[in-house]
Amino acid sequence: MNDVDVLRQSVETQYGGRATLVQSTPVKETFQGQTAWEGVVHVFDLADNPKAARAYAWSSPIEGSTKRRFFAVLHMGGIKSPRDAVRAAIVAEHRSMKGGCDDG
């Protein structure tokens, strides 16, 4: 199974419905002058999902491992593009690493 098939399956498992690849888009997201993430985001049309008609998915290597982490984000709310999806995932990951607490 290739990366796109794994991503499609990940989207379908996480959100339900049937995902169909529409395009693959290169994204480079920077933060404070540093590259936060660079890679290809796959855009899927999502049939039979009550929340969204589109999803974005990509994978990243896990540091210190040969495995990859898979991300899937729905096109809804403030998520309107592959870049928005990557940004949202980076923010969510950063918050979880901080313990989700911004009181301070």
- pLDDT score for 64: 93
Mean pLDDT for 13-19 is: 95
* Averaged pLDDT for residues 76-81: 96
- Model pLDDT, residue 94: 80
Tell me which of 75 and 98 has the higher pLDDT.
Answer: 75
Whole-number Cα distances in Å, 94 to 13, 88, 89, 97:
24, 10, 8, 5
Count other Cβ atoms within 10 Å, centred on residue 61. Answer: 11
Predicted confidence at residue 31, as pLDDT, reads 82
**Whether the model pTM is above 0.75:** yes
pLDDT at 11: 97
